[in-house]
Structure 1
Amino acid sequence: MTQLVYIVAGEASGDVLGARLVARLREMRPGLGFAGIGGERLAEQGLQSLFPMRELALMGLLEVLPNIRSLARRMDETVADITARRPAALVTIDSPGFALRLAKRVKPMGIPVIHYVAPQVWAWRQGRVKEMAHRLDRILALLPFEPPFFEKAGIPVDFVGHPVLESGADRGDGARFRAAHGIRPQERVILVMPGSRRTEIRRLLPIFGEALRLLSARVPGLRPVVPLAGPVEEAVRTAAAGWTPGPILVRDLAEKHDAYAAASAGLIKSGTSSLEVALAGVPMVVGYRVNPITAEIVRRLVKVRYASIVNLLADAPVIPEFIQQDCRPDRLAAGLEALLSGGPEAAAQKAGFARVMSQLAPPGGGSPSEAAARAVLGAISA
């Protein structure tokens, strides 16, 4: 009988991780079947999503509350599907709000529950790790400092390395991008990445757009580039339509990496995207803002010094962070201007990026997705 692995991804980055994981699992064990929830990348691997992944792409307490009933219905639907299919393992990817609630309901069925991308409870709400120990059978961790934290609570952890290393973000062709979009030699490309959640787009794109307007008044010849993420593509197109200067919108993954290679600087939301841009060697400023009430709750609970993963791994402020009330157009513009000025800031960032990347390879060799697949197969065989 064909063994089934049930995959649940709740946002664009998890969709990419899931697709790579499925591809490696098929190589290692061709007879496996797959079902679950995902987006375009998992669909390319043949997974037919139970419902549109974009319905789970929410973040923040006040952002989730208006959708609580629909999320509860989708939770019930997912549990019913897992109950009917009885997979050999459930692999939830990131999106801990939905994933951990799902794990709680699935665990009593005796199905191994594997969570890919350790929830950042080491950063805030550390008490939740005890609760997680009753819901998860294994965690696949991306960061080298995570296993000891979760293992203290009795959760087996595999450090599988960070998938950014196999993203291809450092292999773009900047000259090809400039030629394709008619970018003149004196013009400078500014990479703009506001996130993959609808709430992030609504909050950050107006701020980022105004920062670019202010910067362009002081630094002529800017060409903003915004990569599009599937679930929020139309929202980004609408929000960026009135920008001055007008942005180049890119959807194709190879073209996005070409844009990285062409970029002089980046205006990036705090999160995994900053690590990808660091791999490409693009100096950046990081900005992030959530609902003020959500921010106050997080501020009281947060246990780490930095918001950016790059800065956390470096244990130093490699990238300037403009968070919440500091995420203002004038401050973001000033930060970008410093990177474009030819001063020491950009070179210092690139040196910091190299130190960070050296920490992210899986200890067992191979790629991060191969390491993750080995861990999943080990859980199925146990």
Structure 2
Amino acid sequence: MRYFLIAGEASGDQLGAALMEGLRHLDPEAAFLGVGGPAMTPLGLSSLFPMDELSIMGIWEVLPKYRHLKRRIAQTAQAVIDAAPDVLITIDSPDFGLRVARLVRAQRPDLRTVHYVAPSVWAWRPGRALKMAQVIDHVLAILPFEPPLMRAAGMTCDFVGHPVATADVAGPDQAQLFRNAHGIAPDAPVVLCLPGSRRGEVTRLGPRFDEALIRLRDRVPEIRVVLPTVPGVSGLIRDMTRRWPTAPIVIEEPDEKRAAFAAADLALAASGTVSLELAASRIPMVIGYDMAPLSRLIVGALLRTDTVTLVNLVSDTRAVPEFLGSRCQPGPLALALQDALEDPRLRGAQLDAMDLTMDRLGKGGEAPGVRAARSVLQAITAPR
């Protein structure tokens, strides 16, 4: 079969690569077309254009490139129509992928369409699912409570597992090597600082997280702070942290990041998927997040849940403390960090919630890419 896949950012590229491997396993004659990045291209995808053209976040970043993006949407939709694939699979990045799907559906209403990663309608803007159902037939969900929400909107949906549940994690040997390499004493608590992967998040949360860690260090002087980062913001992080009194160890390499997670005793993190990465490594955490005042007001009015931390949502607990919006301040963060470090009862509750989360996300089961591939093949062959 011929599969047209569209990924728009690094996380979608990784999901797309795993899906392609799964499809090739189940369908050895699989042929791939579309848009992807460095993870998907070695598996046989010749990208229409560089995927990083689509990795744009925020209104002010999008506006200058709006005309160019519209041309890319039209180009991609025409490429789908010309290629006449068996299925169109859009992966995350709904602002681009679903616009392509809408143009394609107008000319090829018979073409099966699949979207990988359900929109977070459980958190806000439930109407997005109904709008998506106009152009998408089937959804691959990575959170176990999402399929009923997608089905209620008129799409079929399968939970296919979350990649974090089957990802490799480092062990005690790598943790010890990390401590040795950075001169961290055996009894010194290692605290991860994770202020986000986008520039706006880092500049907004970074100083507050640093101040919270200063206050924690006043109470627990022996802590060592480690700040894993990613290429897009590593320069900003290094410039910013040179002025931080906590003087964190900044790391960027993926293998060193895995080792740091294995060595860590505690984490202060921005809200997002990173909470699941921390859960996979069984690291107690405190979550903080804030945004620009207008965005905070809008999102606060639309929010439909009392927690946005994925560990809390998947485990159906509230074990992980979170401080959102105006509550994301150094004082409360520092107190919660100290409790998470020193209170065995609170640490135990978090660890139990993390273990339950990983079980529910598919730990120990079939790889999500294979599950997703099987779901796609079933969706293609199912009667309308």
Question: Superposition pairs for residues 8-87 of structure 1, below 5 Å?
Answer: 8-45=6-43, 47-59=45-57, 64-65=62-63, 68-87=66-85
Distance apart, 1:158 and its partner CA:
1.0
Residues 117-143 of structure 1 show CA distances to partners (whole Å, capped at 9, x for unaligned) of 110113222123222111101100112
Which residue does the alignment assign to 1:100?
Answer: 98
Which residue does the alignment assign to 2:142?
Answer: 142
Distance apart, 1:61 and its partner CA:
5.3
- TM-score, length basis structure 2: 0.87
Percent same amino acid among aligned pairs? 44
The DSSP-based 3-state class of the residue aligned with 2:22 is: helix
Inter-CA distance 207–334: structure 2 relative to 1 (3 Å threshold): same
Distance apart, 1:75 and its partner CA:
2.6
Inter-CA distance 80–148: structure 2 relative to 1 (3 Å threshold): same
Residues 5-28 of structure 1 show CA distances to partners (whole Å, capped at 9, x for unaligned) of 233233333222222222222233
- TM-score, length basis structure 1: 0.88
What is the identity, as a one-letter code, of the residue corresponding to 1:316? T
What is the identity, as a one-letter code, of the residue corresponding to 1:214? R
What is the identity, as a one-letter code, of the residue corresponding to 1:95? S
The DSSP-based 3-state class of the residue aligned with 1:190 is: strand
What is the identity, as a one-letter code, of the residue corresponding to 1:6? F
Inter-CA distance 188–47: structure 2 relative to 1 (3 Å threshold): farther
Q: Which range moved further: 3-12 or 312-321? A: 3-12
Distance apart, 1:349 and its partner CA:
0.8
Which residue does the alignment assign to 2:295?
Answer: 294
Question: Superposition pairs for residues 220-239 of structure 1, below 5 Å?
Answer: 220-239=221-240
1:195 and 1:348 mapped to 2: Cα distance?
A: 25
Inter-CA distance 51–328: structure 2 relative to 1 (3 Å threshold): farther
Distance apart, 1:196 and its partner CA:
3.0
Inter-CA distance 361–244: structure 2 relative to 1 (3 Å threshold): same
Inter-CA distance 36–60: structure 2 relative to 1 (3 Å threshold): same
Distance apart, 1:65 and its partner CA:
4.9
The question of whether the paired residues in 2 share the 8 Å contact of 1:283 and 1:346 is answered with yes
Distance apart, 1:347 and its partner CA:
2.0
Which residue does the alignment assign to 1:376?
Answer: 376
The DSSP-based 3-state class of the residue aligned with 1:41 is: coil
The question of whether the paired residues in 2 share the 8 Å contact of 1:9 and 1:95 is answered with yes
The DSSP-based 3-state class of the residue aligned with 2:29 is: coil
Is residue 116 of structure 1 aligned with residue 102 of structure 2?
no
Is residue 283 of structure 1 aligned with residue 284 of structure 2?
yes
Q: Which range moved further: 280-289 or 333-342? A: 333-342
Distance apart, 1:286 and its partner CA:
0.8
Inter-CA distance 264–46: structure 2 relative to 1 (3 Å threshold): farther
The question of whether the paired residues in 1 share the 8 Å contact of 2:119 and 2:128 is answered with no
Residues 138-175 of structure 1 show CA distances to partners (whole Å, capped at 9, x for unaligned) of 10011222111211222010111222111123657311
The DSSP-based 3-state class of the residue aligned with 2:265 is: strand
Which residue does the alignment assign to 1:324?
Answer: 325
Inter-CA distance 349–50: structure 2 relative to 1 (3 Å threshold): same
Inter-CA distance 29–194: structure 2 relative to 1 (3 Å threshold): farther
The question of whether the paired residues in 2 share the 8 Å contact of 1:265 and 1:283 is answered with yes
The DSSP-based 3-state class of the residue aligned with 2:225 is: strand
Question: Superposition pairs for residues 217-366 of structure 1, below 5 Å?
Answer: 217-361=218-362, 366=366
Which residue does the alignment assign to 2:88?
Answer: 90
Figure out how many residues of one structure are paired with residues of the other and give that number: 379
Distance apart, 1:67 and its partner CA:
5.1
The question of whether the paired residues in 2 share the 8 Å contact of 1:222 and 1:245 is answered with no
Is residue 178 of structure 1 aligned with residue 179 of structure 2?
yes
The question of whether the paired residues in 1 share the 8 Å contact of 2:166 and 2:362 is answered with no
Instruction: Flag the structure with larger Rg.
Output: 2
2:186 and 2:263 mapped to 1: Cα distance?
A: 11
Give the superposed CA RMSD: 2.7
Is residue 211 of structure 1 aligned with residue 209 of structure 2?
no
Q: Which range moved further: 67-76 or 173-182? A: 67-76
Distance apart, 1:58 and its partner CA:
4.4
1:264 and 1:282 mapped to 2: Cα distance?
A: 6
Which residue does the alignment assign to 2:195?
Answer: 194
